[in-house]
Structure formats: C-alpha cells, structure tokens
Structure 1
Amino acid sequence: MSIIEVSGLRFSYGPVEVLHGIDLRVDEGEIVAVIGPNGAGKTTLLNVLGGAHRSRSGTIALRGEDVTRASQDSLVRRGLSLVPEGRQMFSSMTVDDNLLLGTYARRREVDADGLREMVFELFPRLRERRDQLAGTLSGGEQQMVAIGRALMSDPSILLLDEPSLGLAPQFVSLIMRTIRRLRDNGRTVVLVEQNAKAALRLADRAYLLELGTVHVTGPARELAQDPRVVAAYLGGGDNAVA
C-alpha cells in the first residue's frame, strides 16, 4: 500500500527550476533510497516532501490525503518527520533537551519518557551523554541525536537527508543498521544518500535523480546491477552495511 504518492512535482529557486515533474511512490514499511550526483535535487525533493519547501506545481499525497500545501508542523502531526542534512543541533543545549524538542509538535499526543527510552535503546551512547552539550559531541553522536530527535515525535515515516555524510566508517555502519532496524520495526524510510553503495544495499527500492528528473527507478538490487548506475556511482570506495 502506498503511503506517499508524488505526481508531477516541480520546484524552483526563484526563476531556476530544480525539480522537473518528479513522480515518486513510497510503500508502507519499505526503505526507498534517492541517489544521484551533487546538485541533482535530492535534498530539495526531501525538503518539499517534509514541508520545509513549497512546490511550484504537482501533488503530494500522504495516505491518500492531499498534503501538497501542508505545513511542516502539520506533517509532523500526521506522522512524518524530516532529519535534515547537517544535523542542525542546538549546540548550547544538552542532548536530553535536544531530544525533547522533537516532541514539540505532538507534545499532547506522545509519551516523551517512553520515546526517549526507545531512543536510548537504539543509541546507548546517548544515554551516557544525555547531560552533555550537543555541540561537544562527535559528528556521529550528533547524527544519533538528530535521528533520535525525529523519533521523539513517534513518526511512522522518516525522511533522512545524507545521514552518513562526513561520518567515520564505524558510525556509517551503525547508522545504516539503525535505519534497517527502524524499518524492521514498522517505520517507513525515505533515504537521500550520497553513499550509493550503502543506500542500495539497505533499500527496498530506489530512484536515481539527475538534474532534477528521475532517470532510473526500480528495486534497489536491480539498480545496483544497472550498468549506468554502476559506472557513474558504484565505482568508488565502499562503506559496508553489516
């Protein structure tokens, strides 16, 4: 069953159109990866889906409801949460306070203590660091906080923008295993990722974006064998997903 349906999506920065009629489907309980080169429009697409940007035309449906013009807070209340690129910590606040900010849009609906325990179970290091200022954490630890903060709204859908960016290999493996675990526990994930090898190993289906258009789509295993994808995106280094 489709949980997100995108049709004819266009977005412009001023006069420059960067998404050119994107069609995309996300089924419930799957990981969908969006890969492609820098400047392809991956982050822009995720920001439009998450309500941070407003599309110029096209439609976005969430569980059959048109949410094309919905605000970011409204989408969070509907169970969709965006983890932005760069993590965007409140560096002068503690880990615990950063996590609690994730409950804001749904503070009357969620069990904050129970969700925080779930985050600490996923990322035991955060329990150890809960009273530490977020700005003093390593990049990998900050990414844990960013994902944990999103989970504090108890989303059914997570939009993850470049979660492995700039991380050491051991943190990349940890984050990817956590994403798989979240999917196995019933959450739906849309993953924008520059690390195409890791993304295609993890995902159920994938989209290849180039210059704001979908060039290839299909099961992730098939894209991993597609000569065009292999030649352009899978010839470099590797970060394994254990």
Structure 2
Amino acid sequence: MSEAAERIDGAAGGALLLCDHASNHVPVDVDLGIDPALLNLHIAYDIGAGALTRTLAASTGWPAVLGTVSRLVIDLHREPDRLGLIPMASDGHDVPGNRDANAAQRIARFHRPYHCAVASAVRLYRPDLIVAIHSFTPRLETAPVDRPWTIGVLYNRDRWTGEAALAALTAQGLSPGDNQPYSGRDLNTTINRHAEAAGIAGIAIEVRNDQLLTPAGIDAWASHLSEMIATLRNRVASRGHLTT
C-alpha cells in the first residue's frame, strides 16, 4: 500500500469499511507550522474512528481501507478541487505551513494513492455495501452549539440505503441523526466516488467522538454498527442493483 493508505484484508464478504480520517500522522518532510499539541485535536483526525474501524474489521472479518495521513496535510474526504483540501485554517486554528504548499504534489503523493487503494479494494472484494466511518465533535470551537446526536447517518442520492440504515439503528433503541451533524448532500466525497458512482449502496456513519474515548466505548459502538451493517447488507443484497 501507499504511505496514504492501509488495507486490512478480510475473509467475510458483502461489506467494505472505509476510514478517511483514521490518522493524525504528519510526514517528517511536511512542516505545518503548528503546535504539535494540535495534532491531538479533532482538526487533525477523526478521534476514535480508526480504532472503531479496526475493531469492526477484526470482529466481523470485513475488509477495510484506512487513511494514514492527517487531514491537516490533505483532506482525503474532499474532491481535489474543493476548498479546504489543504486547509489554511481549521476550526479557528491557523495552519501557516500550508500557505505555500504544492497542492499538485500532495494530491499525487497522498490523495490519489488513497483513492486508488479504495478503488482497488472495491474491485477485489466487490462489496454489496460500502460504509465510511467518521467521528464528529460534540461542538465546534468556532460554533459552540451542542450537537445532541450520538450517531448520524449521512447519504446523498442513495436515500434508500440511508433510510434503511436509520431504521436499523432506530430498531436498536438509538436516535440517529438523519444527515446530521452535517448533510451528506454537501460533503460525501468518498461514498459519492466509490459507491454511488459505481452503483454500489453506501453510507457514511458519524459517531460523536466523546463516545469513542475508551476501549469499552469503541467496543459498544462496534457492536451497534456490526449489527446495523449486517442487517443493511442483507437488505441491500436482496434488493439487487442500486437505483437512486
């Protein structure tokens, strides 16, 4: 694999797990010009999402692809021409080292290889369902409004799969956010590219990161998600080709 992606191979079929923001790693030759302590904040990666994805993959046998570079270096979950791909600031924190960054070089080094790794996994495993795992903050520093959801389901044109996921989580006694804490119609890059564009059912899952700070919390959410994904994958497989 490339320095931007890690693949976890799996024996179980049907589902493929993705985690764009699994890592806060910054290569030694990339100078962001920030206090290293900022790499422990959510602006650098999706806190707990990588551990949750690994736990899910280990417990279910589903394959996974994880991003291995901080989103402060380049955001793997944005189109190459989208504002914020290489952030000059994030949630009120300046990233001065990115002002003179060579975008084409970072795309070639990190963004393109990551998405090639995802595409390769899709070709290899031919999943019925692709699930991207993310986490979100209880509130933003620049907009300190509480986000009450513990989990959200994000989707774009594939409303059927999104609503089926919401129903499966609700059946577990949860209260999932419907395209919350933000809408998959506005930002759904990885699922748009690797699922919807290929006619494969796909959703993004957002778990509030204060739920993922302990091994017990990660195990609990892995249990919720493994049940939901198995139910959803069976429904998707029986439905056949995706129509949006």
* TM-score normalised per structure 2: 0.33
* TM-score normalised per structure 1: 0.33
> Which one has the bigger strand percentage?
1
